[in-house]
């Protein structure tokens, strides 16, 4: 519209709308694409002024990837994401989210804050139904960590992803990709990597997390995301768990960024015109803790099939699952027993019952 109707309504002659309409109808899709692409290229900075948290990576075909390392509970990170997207005018924005967490992009801050703080039985049942008993419990324990930070800071998680979503929608022809491995796969692989006692120890540490956190602590952790740093401290003694939660996701994120950075095909004016491609510009928004792993894996040939498979449950997982079920049913049975015991005692204490029992005793003594 801007290209077809450069004059404002006050400067346009009376027959302006008719001329504009005819001009718009005469522009082909390919021409419109080229006009908007030229506008986008003019706005794209050749030497962008980028925040210090941005890492620049190149592909073999000349595409550029700008990885913004963020702290998931940082206002400063949100500003870094906005500035980067505005400076480079990307063709694709990739965020560290999967389809199971995509709802946070469209929820408002107030609703997200409430959701993040509330961990109830309904959420636990939903997590178990979706991911299984062990993975569901692990997911809820990790959500407890996130809820603890949320409560301490009064800030909903994922602000940088919502900012990325908003800014990407303002850039012509910019696609928005989810770049993280699905949560169920990550948790199932994490559970499979732990022994029975490691699971108990990790669950204990997550259940009793209560250290106070300030906003200054978040900004101090700008070089290593706060949530991932807290997790790293708890899982440091479990190298297999670190591999599944961090290292494998580094590989997956790197693979998705490289897929997004493939050259862009320009539209053809006619079928006889040869196909033309241009290098892509990509912005990746990931936790700061994943940036070193992405850099490390960038020039490697990656195959994600292996890290997408879910191993069968181990013997320790089956034992742990049995213990949890036995505990739950045991508590329910004990509750029913206590309720039944009190009910019997109440009935026996009633005068009518005592009179009836006395008569039975007398009849029995006579015989």
Is residue 56 within 8 Å of residue 121, measured between CB atoms? no
123 part of a folded domain = yes
Same domain for 323 and 207? no
The pLDDT value given to residue 213:
59
As beta bridge partners, residue 220 has none
Is residue 93 within 8 Å of residue 175, measured between CB atoms? yes
> What distance in Å separates the CA atoms of residue 117 and residue 147, rounded to the nearest whole number?
5
Neighbours of 257 (CB within 10 A): 24
**Tokens for 324?**
């949890």
Distances (CA, A) of 6 to 25, 76, 329, 339: 16, 37, 73, 80
88 part of a folded domain = yes
**Tokens for 323?**
């213990």
**Tokens for 199?**
């699971």
The sign of the dihedral angle between the CA atoms of 125, 131, 132, 136 is negative
> What distance in Å separates the CA atoms of residue 269 and residue 225, rounded to the nearest whole number?
47
> What distance in Å separates the CA atoms of residue 210 and residue 222, rounded to the nearest whole number?
21
142 part of a folded domain = yes
| 347 phi/psi in degrees, rounded to 5 | -65, -45
185 part of a folded domain = yes
Same domain for 340 and 245? no
331 part of a folded domain = yes
Domain span at residue 106 reads 45-312
| 304 phi/psi in degrees, rounded to 5 | -95, 0
As beta bridge partners, residue 264 has 278
Is residue 66 within 8 Å of residue 54, measured between CB atoms? yes
DSSP string spanning 179-228? -SPPHHHHHHHHHHTS-HHHHHHHHHHHHT------HHHHHHGGGS-HHH
The CA-to-CA distance between both ends of the chain, in Å, stands at 107
Instruction: State the total domains in the chain.
Output: 2
The pLDDT value given to residue 15:
44
Is residue 163 within 8 Å of residue 78, measured between CB atoms? yes
Neighbours of 355 (CB within 10 A): 10
Same domain for 207 and 337? no
Same domain for 77 and 107? yes
353 part of a folded domain = yes
> What distance in Å separates the CA atoms of residue 143 and residue 139, rounded to the nearest whole number?
6
Same domain for 52 and 128? yes
Q: Which of 296, 312, 328 lies at the terminal end of a domain, its last residue?
A: 312
275 part of a folded domain = yes
Same domain for 198 and 109? yes
Same domain for 167 and 254? yes
Q: Which of 282, 297, 312 lies at the terminal end of a domain, its last residue?
A: 312
Same domain for 125 and 196? yes
In tens, the pLDDT along 132-176 reads 665 666 666 666 666 666 666 666 678 899 999 999 999 988 999
Residue ranges of the chain with per-residue pLDDT less than 70: 1-26, 108-156, 202-237, 268-270, 313-357, 359-361, 363-367
Same domain for 236 and 140? yes
5 part of a folded domain = no
The pLDDT value given to residue 180:
96
Same domain for 91 and 192? yes
Same domain for 325 and 236? no
Same domain for 334 and 307? no
In tens, the pLDDT along 324-360 reads 556 655 655 655 555 555 555 655 566 666 666 676 6
Place of tokens 């941005």: 54
> What distance in Å separates the CA atoms of residue 336 and residue 325, rounded to the nearest whole number?
16
């Amino acid at each position: 519209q801007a290209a077809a109707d450069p004059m404002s309504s006050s400067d346009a002659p009376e027959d302006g709308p008719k001329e504009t309409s005819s001009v718009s109808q005469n522009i082909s899709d390919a021409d419109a694409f080229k006009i908007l692409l030229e506008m986008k290229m003019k706005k794209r900075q050749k030497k962008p002024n980028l925040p210090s948290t941005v890492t620049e990576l190149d592909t073999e075909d000349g595409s550029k990837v700008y990885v913004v390392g963020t702290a998931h509970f940082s206002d400063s990170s949100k500003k870094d994401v906005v500035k980067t997207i505005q400076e480079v005018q990307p063709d694709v924005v990739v965020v560290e989210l999967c389809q199971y967490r995509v709802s946070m992009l469209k929820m408002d801050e107030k609703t997200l804050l409430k959701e993040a703080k509330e961990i109830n039985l309904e959420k636990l049942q939903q997590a178990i139904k979706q991911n299984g008993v062990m993975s569901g419990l692990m997911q809820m324990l990790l959500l407890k960590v996130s809820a603890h930070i949320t409560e301490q800071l009064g800030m909903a998680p994922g602000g940088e992803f919502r900012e990325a979503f908003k800014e990407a929608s303002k850039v012509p022809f910019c696609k928005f990709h989810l770049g993280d491995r699905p949560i169920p796969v990550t948790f199932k692989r994490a559970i499979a990597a732990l022994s029975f006692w490691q699971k108990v120890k990790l669950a204990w540490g997550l259940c009793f997390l209560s250290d106070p956190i300030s906003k200054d602590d978040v900004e101090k952790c700008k070089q290593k995301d706060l949530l991932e740093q807290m997790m790293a401290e708890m899982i440091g003694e479990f190298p297999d768990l670190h591999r599944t939660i961090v290292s494998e996701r580094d590989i997956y994120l790197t693979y998705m960024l490289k897929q997004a950075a493939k050259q862009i095909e320009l539209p053809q004016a006619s079928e006889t015109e040869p196909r033309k491609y241009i290098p892509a510009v990509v912005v990746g928004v990931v936790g700061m803790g994943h940036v070193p792993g992405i850099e490390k894996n960038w020039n490697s040939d990656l195959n994600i099939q292996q890290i997408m498979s879910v191993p069968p449950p181990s013997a320790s997982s089956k034992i742990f699952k049995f213990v949890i079920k036995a505990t739950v049913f045991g508590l329910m049975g004990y509750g029913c027993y206590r309720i039944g015991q009190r009910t019997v005692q109440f009935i026996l204490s009633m005068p009518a019952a005592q009179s009836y029992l006395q008569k039975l005793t007398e009849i029995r003594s006579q015989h």
